[in-house]
A and B are shown apart, each in its own frame.
Chain A
Amino acid sequence: MHILATEGLTKSFPGVTALDRLTVSAGPGVTGLVGANGAGKSTLIKMLLGLLPPTAGTAQVLDLDVATRGADIRRLVGYMPEHDCLPPDVSATELVIHFAQMSGLPRAAARERAADTLRHVGLYEERYRPIGGYSTGMKQRVKLAQALVQDPRLVFLDEPTNGLDPQGRDDMLALIRRIGTEFGISVVVTSHLLGELERICDHVIVIDAGRLLRSSAITDFTQATQVLTVEVDEGTEALAARLAEAGEHVTPQGRVLLVRVRGPQTYDTIRDAAADLELCLIRLEQGRHRIEDVFREEVAGV
């Protein structure tokens, strides 16, 4: 099952093409939507919500066509906009109950779901105070709560980490990961920071200037390279010499050694060499492509 699928989706505004023949699909789980500002992320989300009609092409969300089943889609999805969207003079509880009702939950169920959801996003006693006095981090949590309160099948989170400090960012990312795994709600999350999505996504869609650059599983982006990073306390040169003797390809890089993996025996050789020389092995890890590198290559290649 696809949570979203588009076919030649195009949106033209007078003078600018926001989306250009975008054909992409994504399955359940956490899907990252990456692109620079103005790449067309927000436009895509609005079209997937059935709020903006496509100029050309088609799109399905949860196997429902956006052009004809917009109301049904909006019943099943939640949406957290990028911009501020909270009135200052109501409390978080009042607001979230209201939006649960707006999604069709009866009053009693709305109250219960609002209390549960606010607890899940990490708002406690302060939820009874007017939102006007909240910090940015708390406001982001309320925005997330109103998107989750109706227990959607899918949530669109547009730049959820915007304006958060590093701790708030980490909390928000952990929460999004929990929504995708523990809560069992599929997530489409946009960001222009690839490092963030790398930590939480199963699948990443990269768009640039309204066109698809790449769509693939996160493991393809960050697949293990065939290089090991080895760090020892002291005796780095001795270890390098011993490994070279054993036929391994070794490149010293500062305090660490980069060793090309020839096969499973490479791990054994490093272990044995360190043990024979009675060295203190601090680190032995697989080098990883960072998603940024991939992105940089792809953008440069276009």
Chain B
Amino acid sequence: MSESAGVIHDIGYRHYDGPRLGSGYATRALFAYSLRGIFGLGRPARSKVIPIFLALVMLLPAVVSIAILAMVKQRTMEYTQLAVFMQPVLAIFLASQSPTVVAPDLRYKVLPLYLSRPVTVVQYVVAKLAAMTLALFLLIGVPLTLMYVGELLVDLPGPPETMQYVAAMVSGLLLSVLLAALGLLLASLTPRRGLGVASVIAVYLLTSAVAVALYGAFESLGRMTAASWAVLVNPVSLVDAVRVWLFGGGTAGMTYPDGPGPALIALALIVVLVGGLALRYRKAAAR
């Protein structure tokens, strides 16, 4: 007698006696889950549209510059200028995707499900911050790497601009950390998704507008030192100034203050933002 096909046997409850890994593993799992969420993987199709579109837009300058490189054998854009030129795209990505990382857990009260497990609230924040940082760094780093590989393949006369590529990658990472901390803090303070998007984009527009306005005002007064500091109100320029201090290189017409000043400001800003995030979550966890 043969078993008829398609019969589901209820084999009853089975206990799990396999390995139970620690909170470090759980933190990494949360990091991977959040990173997938940022790009809409494992979510409905409409969650994928914006992040994937913006990631493709970030690739455009790289593709164009490789094409020109191949045809005219001429460099069109410095590596270090990619993030500066494309900063509106980065800002839109930050604004639209930061809320997806932190807002649902606060708004729909998912946080208690995490906190009733071995992860601590600090590990939770670290995983979220790392996921957003890596997402931004991918947006900056993938086009840069593509351009670098293109340059190596095209084989221009003279050595490749390796140092510039490294400088662009390092400053790209710093920018990613800074923007991620800023975006997550703002999004965690405004758990409604639309508000989160609006607040992040508003802060970006405000800082870049204030930077331009102050720069113009100081420049017309002839106070170039003050003007060069005023530019740093824009976080992208702040990180670019740090890059100039560390690696030198072109500034695309901007003047930045000399010395480690911008680096100290950037560092202090990251500490303040991450501290704010920690405070926000200490409060959320106590509820």
User: What residues make up the interface of A, taking CB atoms closer than 8 Å to B?
Assistant: 49, 51, 71, 74-75, 77-79, 81, 83-90, 94, 98-99, 101-107, 109, 113, 116, 120, 130, 146, 150-151, 178, 182-184
> Are A105 and B113 in contact, CB atoms less than 8 angstroms apart?
no
7 pairs of A and B residues whose beta carbons are closest in the complex: A79-B116, A151-B16, A101-B29, A104-B20, A87-B104, A104-B21, A183-B13
Tell me the nearest residue of chain A to B124, going by C-beta. Answer: A102
Tell me the nearest residue of chain A to B21, going by C-beta. Answer: A104
> Are B104 and A102 in contact, CB atoms less than 8 angstroms apart?
no
A102 to B43, CA, bound (A): 19
> Are A75 and B20 in contact, CB atoms less than 8 angstroms apart?
yes
A83 to B111, CA, bound (A): 12
Tell me the nearest residue of chain A to B100, going by C-beta. Answer: A89
Residues of the B chain whose Cβ atoms lie less than 8 Å from the Cβ of A83: 109
Tell me the nearest residue of chain B to A94, going by C-beta. Answer: B42
B259 close to chain A: CB less than 8 A: no
A51 and B14 in contact (CB under 8 A), knowing A104-B26, A106-B21?
Answer: no
A130 to B116, CA, bound (A): 23
Residues of the B chain whose Cβ atoms lie less than 8 Å from the Cβ of A107: 29
Interface size of B by CB at 8 A reads 35
Residues of the A chain whose Cβ atoms lie less than 8 Å from the Cβ of B112: 79, 81, 85
Residues of the A chain whose Cβ atoms lie less than 8 Å from the Cβ of B113: 79, 81, 85, 99, 102, 146
A79 to B118, CA, bound (A): 12
> Are A102 and B12 in contact, CB atoms less than 8 angstroms apart?
no
Tell me the nearest residue of chain A to B12, going by C-beta. Answer: A182
A84 to B107, CA, bound (A): 10
> Are A74 and B109 in contact, CB atoms less than 8 angstroms apart?
no
> Are B20 and A103 in contact, CB atoms less than 8 angstroms apart?
yes
Contact of A89 among B14, B43, B119 (CB under 8 A): B43
> Are B16 and A104 in contact, CB atoms less than 8 angstroms apart?
no
> Are A51 and B29 in contact, CB atoms less than 8 angstroms apart?
no
